């Protein structure tokens, strides 16, 4: 018996033609309803998108609504560095001073005396969510506008970065600055890990950094089987007056016989009423379990 990616079910005719048996024939509507229940249990507003960029399958809930990106932009920032690696000399050592250090900068503080290469800064921005590393990269690569232009160049017409850390985390209600939608960001992750944007070595680096990130182990990845490959980049706005506390988790999973499946999950608490982090983490883990169901449902077991 083998699991075959070519046996993906796209309708009853495919079942009849292939002779394959779907793992789960529940319609997407049930999974969307499950996401709604997760939102109700957590409180606040939840947005979710799953994207299989190869098979062009998607599932979403509030997938077209804008949410603050917070640190989830750092995955794309690292990709921009990889895309421009030759132009900017990604292995060139950068140095910084104490004045550059943000409050959350574990890597930058450790390497203050020696500096680090641009490539190392990109890795630290993803794996450790180092805010100073992100700001240094933005300064070297052309600022927030350059990252927004990068998104536009490969078809993300929604995501936008307007500020650096920490200002980018403050997003007043209804302000489109420093926001994205789950659908846009899941699509972006799918493209960055696919064949159209980055060369193979750069894709491998980005995938490795996402898999090595430690900030999301209690979020979506907590609901995904430990035998699956997974990687992510989290975001956390902090508690700003007049704004709903925002959290995010974007990344990919590789289930049985699948290419990377991209996901983007965002949550925002009511204004000035932050929901406990543990409660949001559990909601994200439940989304991970729903993602697992969706991936398994879209693959078949082929008897040989």
- Is 127 an annotated catalytic residue? no
Which residue out of 39, 71, 129, 286 is catalytically annotated? 71
Neighbours of 184 (CB within 10 A): 22
**What does each C-alpha distance from 297 to 140, 264, 293 come to in angstroms?**
44, 19, 6
User: Cβ neighbours of residue 152 under 8 Å, at least 6 residues apart?
Assistant: none
Which residue out of 165, 202, 269, 282 is catalytically annotated? 165
- Is 71 an annotated catalytic residue? yes
Catalytic residues: 71, 165
């Amino acid at each position: 018996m083998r699991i075959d990616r070519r046996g993906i079910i796209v309708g009853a005719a495919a079942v009849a033609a292939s002779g394959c048996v779907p793992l789960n024939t529940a319609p997407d509507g049930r999974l969307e309803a499950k996401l709604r229940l997760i939102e109700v249990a957590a409180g606040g507003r939840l947005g979710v998108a799953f994207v299989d960029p190869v098979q062009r399958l998607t599932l979403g809930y509030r997938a077209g609504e804008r949410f603050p990106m917070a640190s989830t932009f750092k995955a794309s920032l690292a990709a921009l560095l990889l895309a421009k690696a030759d132009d900017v000399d990604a292995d060139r050592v950068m140095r910084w001073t104490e004045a550059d250090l943000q409050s959350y900068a574990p890597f930058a503080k450790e390497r203050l005396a020696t500096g680090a290469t641009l490539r190392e800064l990109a890795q630290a921005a993803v794996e450790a969510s180092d805010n100073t590393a992100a700001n240094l990269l933005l300064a070297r690569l052309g600022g927030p506008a350059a990252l927004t232009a990068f998104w536009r160049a490969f078809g993300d017409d929604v995501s936008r970065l307007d500020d650096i850390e920490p200002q980018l985390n403050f997003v007043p209600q209804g302000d489109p600055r420093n926001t994205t939608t789950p659908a846009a960001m899941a699509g972006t992750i799918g493209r960055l890990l696919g064949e159209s944007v980055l060369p193979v070595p750069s894709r491998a680096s980005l995938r490795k950094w996402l898999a090595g990130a430690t900030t999301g182990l209690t979020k979506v990845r907590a609901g995904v089987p430990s035998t699956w490959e997974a990687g992510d980049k989290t975001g956390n706005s902090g508690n700003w007056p007049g704004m709903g506390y925002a959290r995010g988790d974007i990344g990919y999973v590789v289930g049985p016989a699948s290419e990377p499946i991209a996901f983007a999950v965002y949550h925002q608490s009511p204004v000035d009423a932050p929901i406990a982090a543990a409660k949001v983490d559990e909601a994200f883990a439940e989304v991970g379990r729903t993602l697992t169901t969706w991936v398994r449902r879209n693959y078949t077991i082929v008897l040989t």
